[in-house]
Amino acid sequence: MRKTKFILLFNNAHLLSYVGSCGRLDAIIDMKESNAIPSELSLREWHIAWQQIEVLKPRLDIRYIRWIKPIKYKLNTDGCSKGNPGKAGGGGILRNERGHLIMAYAEYFGECSNNMSEAKAILFGIEWCLDKGFTNILVESDSMLIINMINGKAKTPWQIKHIIEDIHSLKVQGTFSFQHCYREVTR
């Protein structure tokens, strides 16, 4: 059951409530940010606070997500790990500016973490593109962490540093740009 978290402040008390998918309301009161303890709140104050919790609704964050055609070529990649670390694999798809399939691949990477499989999927795709003469590529991945590592916006851990360095050494052989996309785009 997915639960949505709501935060309500009442008389400097930090009240947390969770609404389940069945519509039931379970309230948890967290008084960390207040000197008040439950016995100090009057019955009327509890009643008012409870009424405010009862009418809370989840805030929806709706975004329109779609695959956008590239100027030249686009490589969408994805990696996964069953367990972390665990058996891992990855794949990708290269499309042209019309959205037509150029190639698709899937690889087994053995035992590794999800971040390593995401990086290996990108590396494999770039190697394939360069081998076949594709050099103007927009690379998209649903792993914002790996994209930020490649773009120099995040620190790279030693476990996958060699893969990120290999990507950096290959990307100078063409015009590669790297950007994050939502998971739904890579499916």
Please check the confidence at residue 65 and state whether its pLDDT lies above 60.
Answer: yes
Q: Is residue 27 part of a domain?
A: yes
The one-letter code for the residue type at 28 is I
Is 61 inside a domain boundary?
A: no
As to burial, measured by CB atoms within 10 angstroms (0-12 exposed, 13-18 middle, 19+ buried), residue 83 is exposed
Q: Which of 42-46, 48-52, 174-178 has the lowest mean pLDDT?
A: 42-46
* CATH number assigned to the domain comprising residue 120: 3.30.420.10
In a domain, 67, yes or no: no
Residues 6+ apart with CB under 8 A from 49: 8, 10, 11, 13, 15, 41
3 state SS of 170? helix
* 18 and 93 assigned to the same domain: no
Count the domains in the chain: 2
Closest alpha carbon to 136 in 81, 77, 177, 83: 177
pLDDT digits (tens, 9 = 90+) for 93-150: 999 998 899 999 999 999 999 999 999 999 999 999 999 999 999 999 999 999 999 9
Torsion from C-alpha of 112, 117, 118, 119, nearest 10 degrees: 90
Residue 90 belongs to what domain range?
73-186
pLDDT at 10 over 60: no
Residue 66 domain-assigned?
no
Question: Does 179 lie in the same domain as 94?
Answer: yes
Note whether residue 174 is domain-resident: yes
- pLDDT of 184 over the 90 cut: no
Give yes or no: residues 83 and 145 share one domain: yes
Residue 63 lies in a domain: no
For residues 111 and 156, membership in a common domain is answered with yes
Q: Which two tokens stand for residue 50?
A: 């409870």
What pLDDT does residue 3 have? 44
176 in a structural domain: yes
Regarding predicted confidence, which is higher, 1 or 168? 168
Same domain, residue pair 33 and 93: no
How much is the pTM?
Answer: 0.66
Do 129 and 37 fall within a single domain? no
Question: Would you give the DSSP letter of residue 23?
Answer: S
